[in-house]
Amino acid sequence: MIAGLTPARFSIRRIGTPLALSSALLAIPLVAGCGEAGGTAAGGSSTQEQTGQPVPAGGGQGVRTTPIRIGGVAVTAEIADNADLRGQGLINRDSLPENHGMLFVYGTSEVRSFWMRNTRIPLDIAFIDASGVIINVEQMEPQSDQNYYSQGPMMYALEMDRGWFEANGVGPGDRLEF
């Protein structure tokens, strides 16, 4: 359990209305994340300690994470909830641990785009609406300035290793579980 987070359970199912999702995510003491197109993406570097755990650029403090479930699979999500963390994203990393990703959190829902400048890991990104439903999933090319867009207003984005969503049978209409 994360300090300050009221327990909330959401099940993976097609379209629903868990309004507590936004509140639960915004209450989480949040973390680090791939570049948002047009944002402050090209920036510092992320280092890894002996344990292999990522450390936010310039911070020296351990990355805070939260457990989520998506498609019935447990995932550890680093959380990027401000411009600096979203801009840093997963740049300059060489790999992600199994079932580990980055969840980008925004205060408003709008159509957004991401890019992969200085990101070496091939990634998939799920664009997620305010109620936690996946809108679309895109495969992103490493080291690219190509923009990848949400197909509707999104409040969250989850980046995972390339092929993770397909391999786990997760796609549009599925919901996150916190």
pLDDT score of 35:
55
pLDDT score of 56:
40
pLDDT score of 73:
86
Contact in structure between 120 and 86 (CB atoms under 8 Å): no
Mention every residue, 6+ apart, whose C-beta is less than 8 A from residue 12: 69, 70, 71, 72, 174, 175, 176, 177
Q: Which residue has the tokens 């690219």?
A: 144
pLDDT score of 63:
74
Laid out side by side, the sheet with 123-128 consists of 134-140, 123-128, 154-161, 100-110, 73-80, 65-70, 176-177
3-state secondary structure of 123: strand
- Tell me the whole-structure pTM to 2 decimals: 0.70
pLDDT score of 33:
37
pLDDT score of 7:
32
Helices (H), the chain: 20-27, 83-88, 164-167
pLDDT score of 53:
37
Query: Which residue segments constitute the domains of the chain, with CATH numbers given?
Result: 20-42+63-177 (2.60.120.1140)
pLDDT score of 105:
94
pLDDT score of 70:
87
Contact in structure between 129 and 154 (CB atoms under 8 Å): yes
3-state secondary structure of 59: coil
pLDDT digits over 66-94, tens only? 999 987 789 999 999 999 999 999 999 99
pLDDT < 70 stretches in the chain: 1-62
pLDDT score of 168:
96
